[in-house]
Structure 1
């Protein structure tokens, strides 16, 4: 029998190459004209999206060029088209939406959110809204290539007949009056709005109980809008902070170059999303100068716990490890929790070891939850070794300013370090500031606990040397704990 296998034909290979090229171009076209289908959010972008399910107001406070506007644009596209990913856990709308997108000027509207939603001028259909969903683009006035209104096909794609969503593009320079009158499902502010325009935008969503989200780098400092999210807690609000370190499209070398390129006074805002606080900042030192990687605490270090009581604002506790030989204080553990009892907090921090605990003078105050028992005694009753006196300096004074200056002096001289894993601690550190010369006592719970610990550092102990547990006694009684005598 003769071998009848077909001969290898070069022309067939050429045909195959042509087919593969066509398929490749088609795949590229689809991914370019339907970016929404291929959206894979970074972890912090996902946190921002998920928060929409339970919070009406959201701030995505982020570094420059890390993807905050893209996140805002992709969510806008989902709500406008009704095309949600199968694993979507954020807010959803089950009907066509009416919405507004805002930016400072007509130029920033065109070059920012409009470009994200549609693609660049001349390439419309390559943004976050799929090309087949864009029904109509109504031109704006006064700025070349600016769109005033987008009409978006809702409820599927292709040739599916569906009602339309409407997105209006508005600038802040139009003034508050132009932000009145409409009933909306959501508003997206790209770049920080004035407070009055933010309030008007939020009001437009009241009837629908809709969503408002903001995406910006806080270059305007601790403005009233930023203050609303960071210093006025509400179950309706959520703040997501994303730094340049969390942007996966930059290499480590690119991050270093970008960080070095910014002026010092803008660096933390542009790379970490920290509001520019200027002279109002209480600790004007860089994070890099105080941060350190976690390490096993040597036995010869002295250790001390410190707490700040709270209910409406969080209870906070830290553990300090003091290298007495070098006089360096390390913040090595942190716990922060709102609206929980001493039983809950004590259970969380008791595992840190049999530490002596510093506490503030309001620990003598009685609480309703404690049935008339002072706060410090409640923690003593939970087997925590509370120090016999509230936090104070050697001379008995309790000056807040003196405590802050002590911490600042240590930071500036390399005598104060914080483990890099304590993200909540650094969150407070970045925002701790003054207003009209006075310390803003909001969002400073872990920092307050740290200050009490530094004030009482003389009571820190080398835990491994203590053979027997300390005898606990009523902390305000005549006789203190046994370890305090002799």
Structure 2
């Protein structure tokens, strides 16, 4: 039996001789040393860390971002992934990208000092205890010291790969400038903390073909940081632009299992209000602030079957260059609680394509839509809302408006954005607005929805807008399975909600 597998829990130490006790102490010391020098064998990721690893393999994502709060384990997870790629020692649960040959990569940080204190420390351990980091000590062939004068800084590490070859990881700093990032083809680049855009682009370029160009397999980049720089171009690339081959995993303090509920509450309270979301939930600081400064955990509810007497309605936000968005709401009128029960968004979708995805939500479901639904397509001459109606969606007769004042005609309530978001915020704060917890795209937009210079930023807000249109027109919601209606007439809404024409 290996020393690391010794089970001493049932041993009666009082029956041991002094010599046996000394030997037992030696074994315990040896076991602790061996475990500290092979932490990779014991790495078990949290759910969000495992998701971050997996998208690189299951979905073949080339560029990954783990955007998380402070001290949640983001750097450790990336360090263990680097150790796997260097050694070829992938655990049974691993679903991420694999190499069956030695790899060449870079691990980087903001300055030479921060690179030493973070990625280098995570991979090697503290100076004097090298071999106690993520890379198993037995697999470290050699360590080359850096020549730039920073005490205990390392230039590169050679690591034994299971195939019999040698992997290499070198350390880089953003402060050295883009020119220092030009050079070889690499299998991976790990950016610890947010890099400047030009540094990220140069690092990404290094992985275009991998270290073995003849293999025809590109490399990968992964970034781990807390987004304290706000909506930078690098953050925007992942959370707004989302080019093919990118993925962002958001990890909050509630995903970190090493904290107790009491510790989480204490940590959250310790941060200044303007940094709290970034430092605990990994949400970028956003100009003048978030539109919905609400803890998303208070909104989340597990998916459930909607009671038959609740009324429902869909909302749609038309798009092309930016995604089209659709949201379905259910209204518990007895308790006056709104539930967002479904959400979908997709860019460059024709009415035929987009309607085909959301039509299964219910052929009885009425749809609210914005004023641009009256715009006519230059090719067909048909209004957008009519094109969606032609695809089987029950589009309300007129654009989304707030309820009219008492005694006023339907359609006179206006369609102001501010009034809608203020009402939704009030419901969120008073427990009257809930969202099915699995709607990840909805919550992604919810976190990013913000103001700049006091004005709502119309960017990546497709599901927020679709939800608002449905909320504004909730008075026309219907029960599931009600009579089909081709159109809805506003003329008698105050009395009967909606009636067919």
Q: TM-score under structure 1 normalisation? A: 0.83
Gaps of 5+ in 2: 1-13, 211-217, 403-410
Tell me, in whole angstroms, the C-alpha distance in 2 between the residues paired with 1:201 and 1:186: 9
1:445 is matched with 462
Closer, same or farther: CA 311–17 of 1 in aligned 2, 3 Å: farther
Closer, same or farther: CA 200–443 of 1 in aligned 2, 3 Å: same
Tell me, in whole angstroms, the C-alpha distance in 2 between the residues paired with 1:408 and 1:479: 29
In structure 1, the residue corresponding to 2:268 is in which secondary structure? helix
Match of 2:356 among 306, 331, 343: 343
Gaps of 5+ in 1: 1-9, 157-161
2:152 is matched with 145
1:116 is matched with 122
In the alignment, is the contact (CA less than 8 A) between 1:103 and 1:190 conserved in 2? yes
Alignment pair present for 1:204 and 2:221: no
Deviation (angstroms), 1:76: 0.8
Closer, same or farther: CA 322–477 of 1 in aligned 2, 3 Å: closer
Closer, same or farther: CA 224–203 of 1 in aligned 2, 3 Å: same
1:159 is matched with none
Alignment pair present for 1:80 and 2:89: no
Alignment pair present for 1:187 and 2:189: yes
In the alignment, is the contact (CA less than 8 A) between 2:56 and 2:97 conserved in 1? yes
Alignment pair present for 1:455 and 2:472: yes
Tell me, in whole angstroms, the C-alpha distance in 1 between the residues paired with 2:489 and 2:473: 17
In the alignment, is the contact (CA less than 8 A) between 1:101 and 1:187 conserved in 2? yes
Deviation (angstroms), 1:17: 5.7
Deviation (angstroms), 1:375: 5.6
1:249 is matched with 258
- Please give the per-residue CA displacement for 1:141-181, whole angstroms capped at 9, x wherever unaligned: 2221111221222226xxxxx33222111111111111112
1:41 is matched with 45
In structure 2, the residue corresponding to 1:255 is in which secondary structure? helix
2:56 is matched with 52
Closer, same or farther: CA 248–410 of 1 in aligned 2, 3 Å: closer
Closer, same or farther: CA 164–359 of 1 in aligned 2, 3 Å: same
Tell me, in whole angstroms, the C-alpha distance in 1 between the residues paired with 2:358 and 2:377: 16
Tell me, in whole angstroms, the C-alpha distance in 1 between the residues paired with 2:109 and 2:27: 39
- Please give the per-residue CA displacement for 1:339-395, whole angstroms capped at 9, x wherever unaligned: 654233111x229xx543312344456889x99976645665676543222213432
* RMSD between aligned residues: 3.6
In the alignment, is the contact (CA less than 8 A) between 1:62 and 1:217 conserved in 2? yes
Tell me, in whole angstroms, the C-alpha distance in 2 between the residues paired with 1:341 and 1:453: 17
In structure 1, the residue corresponding to 2:158 is in which secondary structure? strand
Closer, same or farther: CA 68–314 of 1 in aligned 2, 3 Å: farther
- Please give the per-residue CA displacement for 1:39-60, whole angstroms capped at 9, x wherever unaligned: 1111111111111121111100
1:317 is matched with 327
- Mapping 1:25-36, distance limit 5 Å: 25-36=29-40
Match of 1:175 among 174, 177, 184: 177
Closer, same or farther: CA 21–297 of 1 in aligned 2, 3 Å: same
2:441 is matched with 424
2:6 is matched with none
Deviation (angstroms), 1:84: 1.6
2:237 is matched with 228
Alignment pair present for 1:261 and 2:285: no
Closer, same or farther: CA 427–95 of 1 in aligned 2, 3 Å: same
Closer, same or farther: CA 483–456 of 1 in aligned 2, 3 Å: closer
Deviation (angstroms), 1:254: 0.9
In structure 2, the residue corresponding to 1:31 is in which secondary structure? helix
Alignment pair present for 1:359 and 2:369: yes
Alignment pair present for 1:304 and 2:304: no
In the alignment, is the contact (CA less than 8 A) between 1:429 and 1:447 conserved in 2? yes
Deviation (angstroms), 1:23: 4.4
- Please give the per-residue CA displacement for 1:179-210, whole angstroms capped at 9, x wherever unaligned: 11222111100001111111111111123221
Deviation (angstroms), 1:279: 0.5
Tell me, in whole angstroms, the C-alpha distance in 1 between the residues paired with 2:135 and 2:431: 52
Tell me, in whole angstroms, the C-alpha distance in 2 between the residues paired with 1:319 and 1:365: 25
In the alignment, is the contact (CA less than 8 A) between 2:194 and 2:223 conserved in 1? yes
2:161 is matched with 154
Deviation (angstroms), 1:93: 2.1
1:287 is matched with 295
